[in-house]
Chain A
Amino acid sequence: MRPSTTQPGPRTGIVAYHAYLPGYRLQRSEIAAAVGASARGERCVAGHDEDSTTLGVAAALPAVRGREAAVGSVWFATTDPVYADKTNATAVHAAVDLEPGILAADLGASLRSGIAALFAAARDGGLAVLADRRGGPAGGADEREGADAAAAFLFGEENLLARVICTASVTAEFIDRWRAPGAPNGAAWEERFGEQRYIELADQLLTRLSEAGAELGGVRRFAVAGSNARAVRSVASIVQKATGARLEGADLADVIGNAGAAQAGLALADLLDAARAGETLLLISLADGADGLILQATGAIGASRGEPMRGQVDRGVTIGYPQYLLWRERLAAERPRRPDPDRPSAPFAWRNRRYKLSMAGGRCRTCGAVQFPLPRICYQCHAADDFEPVPASGQTGRIVTFTVDRLAFSPSPPLVSAIVAFEHGGRLQCELTDVRQPIRVGDEVVPTFRRGATVGGVRNYIWKARPVDPTTPAAAERSGTESES
């Protein structure tokens, strides 16, 4: 029998979670048409300035906000890491503005890293960040059926949305899906071979879960994540028969696509979104073995969870396939007749980290003027070195003035920039992103963590501002409040 220390503590559970679907959609039919094939549905696509790290930050911020001090660790999972050798979780840690005294680590570039991040975070009250961008050979099934998305889960022992009942794992070495490190395209063995292995592994997993104390007959809802679609379907059918539970998220692959290492996160977020108080939930991940997580929703699940993932599915903007290929640098765009950007200076970025990565500035203790980044001397009253920290992240801002720049370098021209005034004071000039309709002075924006240029392999991260989608429930609520006042 496994030692009990591998199980999360008895009071452990999920405190907060958020799934992030980036704002772009690609019609599978358009991808398939490039190679004379046909396909249905659409996949979720990250913007040109989003990578696995920024997707992870977008998922983590809403889950962590206000609970920064309670985060015990950061476990980052992706198959599309920005860096090898250098840790990617540290940028997430910085952007979410967590305490220095915790571990932030990556879990390698395998599909199983997603569920591994959840298990690891469940054991130490940590933050599991599952983020991925999935593609494949042009026009092929992997490109069509992949997705770019992220989900983050904060574990803890107080104010739980769902308590962890138990976890179990079965490991097996066989060839189903593989990819050389750094290669853009992966490969898979004939699906039926992997399907049979995963059916065997799922059987063993159910046994292990029972042995760990789970009452499988009590499971009310379950979800299965994995990259082998046949295996996912077959295992779902077996689990349904074994437990009588309701399958959630069977359509995720159709409406979003398969987000690789983040797929277990999307499945779990969907499961939690559907859960009602007291229900027992089962998540199964099929990746080089089978892993299971059983949870029980608490009475807080209805009131305290954030915006459901399904609400984001229909908010995407459709882009063309050539646009996608340009964004992923699969096609080389014409370069502007301007110099290339310089490599960001490592010492400069380190000194500037409070602003650059955490978007923090300062409020002058003498006159109250807010400024970004934290200056030595206040622009307004000239008092020196007496500021209290102010984060812009998490605030909303309003556009003071803006311009569309057709000359400046941008991977997706034109570059739109604006002077943004924040609700708690302070103004700064920044780039706008995810601009979907003409900008107007006074429009509401929120800061969003994005990638800039990569020079010499060094990726420049910057905070931009994103117009608030007027269709989001939060925006509607705010404008409603304003019209009453």
Chain B
Amino acid sequence: MAQHSLSDRVAIISMGCTRFAEHFDRSADELAVDAVAEALDGAGLTQDDIDAFWLGTYVSGISGMALARPLRLVGKPVTRVENMCATGSEALRAAVYAVASGAVDVAMAVGVEKLKDTGYAGLISPKIQDDGTRVNTSAPANFSLLVPAYRERYGVAPDMFRAAMTHVAWKNHANGALNPRAQFRRAVSKESIERSPAVAGELGVMDCSGVADGAAAAIVTRAEDARKYTGSPLYIKALSLVTGDGSGAADPRYDYTSFPEVVACARRAYAQAGITDPRRELALAEVHDCFTPTEIVLMEDLGFAERGHAWRDVLDGVYDRDGELPVNPDGGLKSFGHPVGASGLRMIYECWLQLRGQAGDRQVATAHRGLALTQNLGGAPGDCVCFISVVGSKPA
């Protein structure tokens, strides 16, 4: 038994993405309608042309009816999927598998999330009924555990690691400032990042991604049919998912300087896509910058940096938009906020623009490499789910 590559069998033929924002004036339904309409228009298709739909949403709807109702889909198979922060990517994964299996010709993945209706601070996760024994830590607290552990293991001076965290936030906000779909469209000074109020551990407010509403959508077909709809489809090169067994806290071998789930997920994705040197083969990477230290650690787990060197690479500008490997050129979660069900497809949307040369002011110079990676991370260090995709502008 083995997992097999679906590389180049399925292609994205159109996408849509709303602005990510505090959409107090728009519902989850309306956001979904907008993203779907943009995707359909781009391919010259109607809803009736789509054979099956997958909706990714974390807290904003239950069952496929959460999409069928607002779109008035009649007689269509519509399924809701959820896998924490990989939720939007799970919708794409299901749509791709459906097309690759031959079960359908055209499938659509939609991700939508409405977080700003709760009135609470931060992301509110659905609570499973339990007995209250588990310690109720916040997401920034969980990810803040990376900071002292990483510094200790690699002997990094606190001010140097702080500078690297600041650089991640500074870079992503600078990128987001150029993106009309970003929630925050303003560059942020390093001083204001470092002066932001403490949230958890050594994380300040500006080390955390924001909270926003948004939706994104993608239409996929068999690779050989793709050029019927667009002259420049994106080919699915790899889809990889690793779901952690939650043993990090219990296992003395886990030291909070890495996400083993990401390492395993990346190994499989690179094998599917035939990538051996991701730092030089990828045009860009959209990664899960939920908190600034997360992005630093991900650079190592994804093979972009040697162990213990990512903080130095970050400071050297390796992952800046004009760097050796642009990371989060659209502004990342830092600039977009994190409407959970939509984020995975929002990352794919940036690859769609960048690899097709449509990213405008923030177009990366590396687009000719023709491959882009997206990565989602849900949960906490030691207890997480990781999704990685690789998409490419050229068929094999």
Q: Which A residues have a C-beta under 8 Å from some C-beta of B?
A: 336-339, 341-342, 344-345, 348-349, 352, 355-356, 369, 371-372, 379-380, 400-409, 415, 417, 419, 421, 426-431, 441, 452-453, 460, 462
Contact = CB atoms under 8 A, between A and B. Distances in A.
A52 B152 CA distance: 41
A414 to B, nearest CB: 8
Contact of A417 (B131, B137, B252): B137
Contacts of B122: 338, 407
A44 B161 CA distance: 43
24 contacts: A337-B119, A338-B124, A341-B132, A341-B136, A342-B129, A344-B130, A345-B129, A345-B131, A349-B131, A352-B133, A369-B251, A379-B250, A380-B247, A401-B149, A402-B145, A403-B145, A408-B136, A415-B135, A415-B136, A419-B249, A428-B249, A429-B135, A429-B249, A431-B135
A369 B252 CA distance: 9
Given A403-B144, A407-B200, A339 B120 contact: yes
Interface string B126-162: 0101111101111011101100110010000000000
Central interface residue in B120, B122, B252, by most chain A CB within 10 Å: B252
B131 A419 contact: no
B250 A427 contact: yes
Given A342-B129, A348-B129, A408-B137, A441 B152 contact: yes
Given A403-B201, A404-B200, A344 B132 contact: yes
A401 B119 contact: no
B256 interface: yes
B133 A407 contact: no
B199 interface: yes
A406 B199 contact: yes
A352 B120 contact: no
Interface residues of B, number: 34
A428 B250 contact: yes
Given A371-B250, A427-B252, A338 B132 contact: no
Contacts of B137: 403, 405, 408, 415, 417, 429
B45 interface: no
A441 B149 CA distance: 9
A411 B120 CA distance: 18
Nearest to A455: B132
B121 interface: yes
Given A336-B121, A337-B119, A339-B120, A426 B135 contact: no
Contacts of B245: 379
Nearest to B247: A379
Contact of B141 (A345, A356, A371, A408): A408
A460 B250 contact: no
A352 B132 CA distance: 11
Contacts of B250: 369, 371-372, 379, 426-428
Contacts of A338: 120-122, 124
A380 B251 contact: yes
Nearest to B129: A345
B103 interface: no
B252 A421 contact: yes
A372 B161 CA distance: 33
A405 B249 contact: no
A428 B148 CA distance: 18
A337 B120 contact: yes
B149 to A, nearest CB: 5
Nearest to B253: A380
B198 interface: yes
Central interface residue in A402, A404, A408, by most chain B CB within 10 Å: A408
A417 B149 contact: no
